[in-house]
Structure 1
Amino acid sequence: MARLPKAKPISLSQQYIAIRRQYENIVDSKFEKNQIIFKFKIKPTEESEEYLVRVSYKLHESPIVVLLEPEMKLHNGKRPHHIYGLENGHPILCLYYPKSKEWNKNLYIADTIIPWISTWLFAYEYWQITGKWNYNESNALKGIKKKVKNSMDTEQGDNLSIP
């Protein structure tokens, strides 16, 4: 039986153009030799605070999303467990569990990652009020959540590696 060829990943230039076409709230963007970087403002709801986030993407890697402004608020002295760690004091958002393969290099960031940022921020705002993360989690993530949460409650969270 013949195998189908693997789909080519969406190129950096295609990703860059799609984001520029679909989003007007871009504050800054860079197209470098091996990566694209966008800073943009986003409000998950009309009543929400406005957030400044940075999305950086290198081909064949997972996009990295960092919350730049405002500073992340704590709930009862704790950060939400849905962050990978900190980059220069700014949280790196956990939008999906990479091993579940919800996102891959054949998907547009504009159609997946950016809407997921809004969903994450909405869940974060609910968490600030209730202390509960009101969004489905990967079953695999639930198994490791305690380890990450314990790390995030200490300064060791600054040294967590990005999957």
Structure 2
Amino acid sequence: MASTPRRAVNLGRQAAAIHAVLPHAQTRIHKGRLWCSVTLQPAPICRVYTVQVTYRHRGRPHVIVTDPELELHPRATALPHVYPGGDLCLHLPGEWNDSMYLATTILPWTSEWLLHYELWLVTGRWSGSGHDHAVANEDAAWPGG
């Protein structure tokens, strides 16, 4: 028996779901792309971060931290779990699809990434899961997360 294909969540519903969870979020839909800017604080002792999410219908969400600038651990030469250009690596291939809501997946995963980032700044060890895929140049393939 064939399974029914999942329907992608449209951009208007994505924006509404983000506002339902984070009323202070700023969202805009323009030319088939959802843009969202939101502040996240992963734990009460953590800094407050401003993140930007851009998402094109049926595409892959792109998440960057816009403030404060991400720092390196003193012994590090690169940020862990970040793609060239600054996109955060939030999931493994196949863990996210366009039938999921950004508000209940990508944004909580971003907050979790920020918590692991703050721990990494102190310890120098990434405590989150996933594969480290630090790459040396912008031409490297994007493995999906």
TM-score by length of 2: 0.89
C-alpha separation between the residues in 1 aligned to 2:116 and 2:7?
Answer: 33
Residue-by-residue CA offset, 1:44-87 (whole Å, 9 max, x unaligned)? 0111111010001111111000110111111124222200012x
Moved more, 4-13 or 103-112: 4-13
Point out the structure with the larger strand share. 1
Equivalent residue number for residue 95 of structure 2 = 102
The DSSP-based 3-state class of the residue aligned with 1:17 is helix
Q: 2:134 aligns with which of 130, 149, 159?
A: 149
Q: Pick one of 110, 119, 124 that aligns with 1:126.
A: 119
Identity of aligned residues (%): 27
Q: AA paired with 1:15?
A: Q
Moved more, 4-13 or 14-23: 4-13
1:73 aligned residue (63, 71, 74): 71
Separation of aligned partners in 2, 1:161 and 1:71: 24
Q: How many residue pairs are counted as aligned between the two chains?
A: 142
Larger Rg: 1
Equivalence map 1:1-163=2 (5 Å): 2-26=1-25, 28-75=26-73, 76-86=75-85, 91-97=86-92, 99=93, 101-137=94-130, 141=131, 145=132, 148-149=133-134, 151=136, 156=137, 158-160=138-140, 162=142, 163=144
SS in 2 for 1:129: helix
Instruction: Measure, in 2, the Cα distance between the counterparts of 1:7 and 1:63.
Output: 17
Unaligned runs of 5+ in 1: none
TM-score (norm 1): 0.80
More helix by share: 1
